Amino acid sequence: MTGIVKTYLAYLERERNYSPHTISSYENDLAQFHEFLLRHFETKKVNLDAVDHITIRFFLGDLREQGMSARTIARKLAALRSFFKFLVKRKISAYNPALNVASPRLARKLPVFLDEHAVERMMELPDRTTVEGVRDRALLELLYSTGIRLAELISLTLDDVDMRNDTIKVLGKGKKQRIVPFGRKAKEALTEYLRQRQAIGISTAGQRDGRTVFLSSRGLRLYPKGVYRIVSKYIGLVSELEKRSPHVLRHTFATHMLNRGADLRAVKELLGHESLSTTQLYTHVTVARLKEIYKQSHPRAE
């Protein structure tokens, strides 16, 4: 099974343009499934033709007993569906046993976001007398101004930033490119940072990342953990939210856009969502805002 999994993962990377993060997740899911099959069939070599929908249900039950969340189990089932679909396509298996296995019902989580006043306070916090502080402010402003993902931010190069047209070129999920505008505040912060960025200096180890926009104090490309620490620090200073990831600023961007009347489809394009239903998750906030306005304005609301 190991050889087939490697072929499948290569297919995801080369033909489907899946992100390294997704491929790594699927690899771990399939490794866990393989380990389960060895135990389930009490054998040293797995025969995939012996896997049916009952086997997969047993696997999901095993995951539940391990205390895994419904969301994690659903993702692992999605990985199996995709894997067996590939096997059927390559005529390695006759049918997809995961196709008719019901996915766990997921509780729909509402997005966590900052209010506008918290965002304003946060943007004033970085110490602009230091290059790192100037960088932090530009990073925060760009995340909030564009709603881009963490992976999209750290992969930005100087060539992707168009200061004349106030846009950035983003490489999103599935390696799909999109153009995203940024606002005046982000432009001011970015201009200041790019002017001082050269003071950081590109280290020998970071030569290949020399065109990357956001650098560490050592002149290396900022990695996800570094960005997470920066964002978490500043969100923690203005909010009591438990979740303080860069994705909170993405949620905040979408929520504030919709609250101020932005078209749902336009927000979908800006976020790089495949489906409109994903973007619709943010409309609950707009409804809450409408209720608030209604209570404040209608003479018989109270």
In the residue annotation, 282 being an active-site residue is answered as: yes
Catalytic annotation, pick one of 76, 135, 137, 149: 149
Q: With the C-alpha atoms ordered 125, 130, 132, 138, is the resulting torsion angle positive or negative?
A: positive
Catalytic annotation present for 228: no
189, two tokens? 């912060």
Strand partners, 167: 162, 181
Does residue 247 carry a catalytic annotation? yes
- Active-site residue 40, yes or no? no
Residue 91 annotated among the catalytic residues of the structure:
no
Q: Which of 76, 135, 244, 273 is catalytic?
A: 273
Whether the Cβ atoms of residue 31 and residue 46 lie closer than 8 Å to each other:
no
DSSP assignment letter at 302: -
Quote the distance between the C-alpha of residue 249 and its chain's center.
Answer: 11
Nearby residues of 125 by Cβ (< 8 Å), 6 or more positions away: 234, 237, 238
Helices then strands (H, E): number in the chain?
13, 3
What SS3 string covers 81-131?
HHHHHHHHHCCCCCCCCCCCCCCCCCCCCCCCCCCHHHHHHHHCCCCCCCH
- Which of 135, 187, 247, 256 is labelled catalytic? 247
Question: If DSSP codes are grouped into helix, strand and coil, which group holds residue 45?
Answer: coil
Which of 53, 75, 173, 185 is the catalytic position?
Answer: 173
The catalytic position among 250, 251, 256, 268 is 250
Could you give the CA distance from residue 13 to residue 193 in angstroms, rounded to a whole number? 34
Q: Edge-to-edge, what's the strand order for the sheet holding 167-171?
A: 161-162, 167-171, 177-181
273 is catalytic: yes
SS3 of 204, please? helix
The residues that are catalytic are 149, 173, 247, 250, 273, 282
